[in-house]
Structure 1
């Protein structure tokens, strides 16, 4: 079982590296944020059988006065 997990981790790492290279070349090498979303848990703490964790890649393409555009964060300029 451990060998299988290690092989999958290497495969996924290779896929992530490939995706980052391709996205960087197409988008002129922007910085990226990434988030690892685990599978949701049931009330008893066990994972749902039909879900998987996933990685979300977000290229940073827009800036406002040197601040990143992030959800739920307001940038207010003093008057």
Structure 2
């Protein structure tokens, strides 16, 4: 789930997650989406586009694999 990856992600490269939301704000800014939109995605209440998922992956320094049926897209 996207939400579980957002909070612990070392976006700033320092690993300083203090629960203050600074990293959440940084992910939203780097992914060029609003904080409310990121919050919806995090909570499973939104359906992000592939472009948005790509920006989120880059902002979090990770990748996503999308599986459709038996094939990986």
TM-score by length of 1: 0.21
Richer in strand (by share): 1
With a CA cutoff of 8 Å and minimum separation of 6, indicate the structure with the bigger relative contact order: 2
TM-score by length of 2: 0.22
